[in-house]
Chain A
């Protein structure tokens, strides 16, 4: 199972080490609303889960995504 950092780096076309714990839509200009849709689809495919509207709207940082994944039993 890929790590959250590797999924994000692939979608955002950034090196894995550019995705630090503080990474967010504010700190990464590549992470815009269109890339966010790609990211959600990639996360659902990578981890075999479905994200609801509230979760999708809240997942605007590495930490927020990791928290949602943990709640769903996935280790980011």
Chain B
């Protein structure tokens, strides 16, 4: 009796093979985790970031990734960078709006450590980076997709802070704005076959979280999460991948917060 040959399961292609994605702010932290995950899932990637050293590190690990150094708060430069990425990948199916920054400032500073002018300038910086640049980059990408009749998805990173967080007027307003833009784009671009999804992390164990909060506050926050820990960057990146893969998720906020309610 001869032994039958071992059966070989048919090769399953990576879930995002053939898809082309642009990730903003992908040089480090959460953005880097998204880059790693989408690359592993088979997507062709372009990354926009102003962190040139971080972009070099991305290229070292993923030589096929297209990297474009750019300050996204400069709308003209951002549009040119999007054009470079779009041409290099011969189109885009996925945009991940991840670039952003966290800055804190109380509305009222009884300690007089900052002036009102300084707090207003900080507002402008946070809104420019976390909201206005997202609008500009999405406009630039969506126009190109629509012209080429490309269908796809725009995933924007929101935050649990969209529901309010003391000391973060600008950040909370920007992230609430992201949720509003997602709902708007879903309705506006849906007929073109372009979806919009917001992935809203709670507190993730990333460099930006540790830069924004003291160690004591990080421990306090972790204790308030029902799961008693911060999320990982890859858990947020996984939600981004799921939002991309599921073609019927549209116009909604996918919360990745461990059950934390602010």
Contacts and interface: CB of A to CB of B under 8 A. Distances in A.
Nearest to B110: A56
B214 A53 contact: no
Contacts of B214: 29, 32
Interface residues of A, number: 12
A34 B166 contact: yes
Contact of B109 (A29, A33, A60): A33
A72 to B, nearest CB: 18
A37 interface: yes
A33 B215 contact: no
A1 interface: no
Interface string A46-62: 00000001001100100
B216 A33 contact: no
Among B111, B112, B220, the most chain A Cβ lie within 10 Å of the Cβ of B111
B216 A37 contact: no
A36 B106 CA distance: 11
B167 A33 contact: yes
A56 B112 CA distance: 9
Contact of B106 (A30, A34, A57, A60): A34
Contacts of A30: 216-217, 220
A60 B167 CA distance: 18
- From DSSP, what is the main secondary structure of chain B's interface residues? loop
B216 A56 contact: no
A40 interface: yes
A57 B111 contact: yes
B111 A33 contact: yes
B108 interface: yes
Contacts of B217: 29-30, 32
B166 A57 contact: no
A53 to B, nearest CB: 7
Contacts of A56: 110-111
Interface string B184-219: 000000000000000000000000000000111100
Given A29-B214, A36-B110, 20 more contacts: A29-B215, A29-B217, A30-B216, A30-B217, A30-B220, A32-B167, A32-B214, A33-B110, A33-B113, A34-B166, A36-B111, A37-B108, A37-B110, A40-B110, A53-B110, A53-B112, A56-B111, A57-B110, A57-B111, A60-B111
